[in-house]
Structure 1
Amino acid sequence: MGSIEALSSAPKPKPVIKVVALCGSLRKASNNLGLIRAAMELMKEEEVEMEIEYVEISTLPMLNTDLLIGYGVFPPVVEDFRRKILEADCFLFASPEYNYSVTASLKNALDWASCPPTNVWADKAAAIVSASGSLGGARGQYHLRQIGVYLDLHIINKPELFLNGFDEPAKFDSNGDLIDPEAKLKLKQLLLALHAFTLRLRNNS
């Protein structure tokens, strides 16, 4: 009897949130990729159970329905990508701003994963971070939010994180690693907000 009581009073394991992180920049020393690396390191230090997996998008072919093997049958590299998106609980997008918008590589990934018969982004939480010039990628983030509306993504509103990668003192080193303590704190707050919102969506479903 005592063992049953002990089991019932034991703390329940915290639910694991699986995050797929996508980087809109394909550059090896990208500051945006550095934001994803920083996010992965920061969550290792937190008590919340959040696993962040960086998923490469550079291997995806440009969207062309002639590449479909049949209706809803995608090339293997696309099929694998769609499976990872489907299995994720939420998403972290990191992308610079190109011409007031997202990069072609990120838009291509968004399009492939929304192809019929199943939009695998649908009804999941997401957060956006960006490192760019000028406004730090703010206009690109707002365009991504517009795309997210059609994809049925629930993008958190606050906190927001836009970093000017050319500011002094530098926020990133020459390898693209985030070195600014204040920016790391803001990134951690954003990730915790994503974690909380994802759990809220899960509990309400």
Structure 2
Amino acid sequence: MEAVRAIKPLIRVAALSGSLRKYSFSTGLLRAAIDLTKESVPGIEIEYIDISLLPLLNTDLEIDGTYPPVIESFRQKILEADSILFACPEYNYSVSAPLKNALDWASRAPNVWANKPAAVISTGGDCGGGRSQYHLRQIGVFLDLHFINKPEFTLNAFQPPQKFDEEGNLVDEAAKERLKQVLVSLQAFTLRLQGK
């Protein structure tokens, strides 16, 4: 009986990468997060959502309150998720254009981001994408996204030791442990908001 109580309810996480590059470090962070849920963070199921196929936001594509099939499918995946995990690269102190496009499409009426718990992770040079994270959090205020506050996850991809391999996979064990703590925090926050 105690073992049954110890099992946490499954939460479904939609994971979005703001980078479309084949060997993207941002997408590599999401692959590492997916692996961690299989190895050491039970109760979380992460689905990677590919945003590369979304057309640029154009309200002419909205017809009688409906959206093109690719947009409808994307919006449905966000709606069905219990929480969101963003891998947010930094472009000119801000979020990337593909990520902003995805944010805007899913915010069209009805806003499917509303009341979703979320976490953001980033990697890059200097401050590891931290400025883009703060801009994403600012956008999230209007979208009614609820970001975890801690732990923050930024990673300088170019400072030794090596963080990623040639295919963009996270190989740094210390970074994996920090990423695990983000997932644990997102899980706890999601369950708290669900009243579980």
Per-residue Cα deviation, 1:89-145 (whole angstroms, up to 9, x for no partner): 0000002100000000000000000101x1101111000000111110000000000
Identify the residue that residue 139 of structure 1 maps to in structure 2.
131
Match of 2:23 among 6, 9, 29: 29
Distance 1:92 1:188 in 2: 12
1:42 paired to 2:47: no
* Identity %, equivalent residues: 62
- Quote the offset at 1:45 in angstroms: 1.4
Contact kept in structure 1, 2:124 and 2:156, CA below 8 Å: yes
Q: CA offset at residue 70 of structure 1? A: 1.6
Maintained 8 Å contact 2:41/2:183: no
SS of match in other structure, 1:113: helix
Identify if the C-alpha distance between structure 1 residues 26 and 111 changes in structure 2 by more than 3 Å, giving closer, same or farther: same
Report runs of 4+ in structure 1 exceeding 4 Å deviation.
none
Change beyond 3 A, Cα 1:10–1:127: closer
Could you list the per-position Cα deviations for residues 36-74 of structure 1 after superposition, in whole angstroms to 9, with x for gaps in the alignment? 000000111125310000000000000000011222x00
What does 1:134-173 correspond to in 2, within 5 Å? 134-173=126-165
Identify the residue that residue 96 of structure 1 maps to in structure 2. 89
Deviation for aligned residue 1:10: 7.5
* Deviation sequence 1:2-45 (CA, Å, 0-9, x none): xxxxxx88825531100000000000100010000000001111
Amino acid at match of 2:98: S
Alpha-carbon distance change, 47 to 135 in structure 1, aligned in 2, over 3 angstroms: closer
| Aligned-pair CA distance for 1:152 | 0.5
C-alpha RMSD of matched pairs (Å): 1.4
Question: Aligned AA for 1:151?
Answer: L
Query: CA offset at residue 82 of structure 1?
Result: 0.2
Equivalent residue for 1:5? none
Which residue type is aligned with residue 98 of structure 1? Y
CA distance in 2, matches of 1:24, 1:122: 20
Q: Retained in 1: the 8 A contact 2:94–2:132?
A: yes
SS in 2 for 1:52: strand
User: Across the two proteins, how many residue pairs are aligned to each other?
Assistant: 195
- Whole-angstrom CA distance in 2 between matches of 1:46 and 1:124: 24
Q: Which residue of 2 aligns with 1:86?
A: 79
Q: Which of 33, 45, 55 is 2:49 aligned to? A: 55
The normalised TM-score by structure 2 is 0.96
| Structure 1 segments unaligned to the other structure (5+ residues) | 1-7
Could you say which structure has the larger radius of gyration? Answer: 1
Give the Å deviation of 1:160.
0.5
Which residue pairs with 1:174 in the alignment? 166
CA–CA distance in structure 1, aligned partners of residues 19 and 40 of structure 2: 27
The residue identity in structure 2 corresponding to 1:92 is L
**Counterparts of 1:173 and 1:152 in 2: how far apart (Å)?**
36
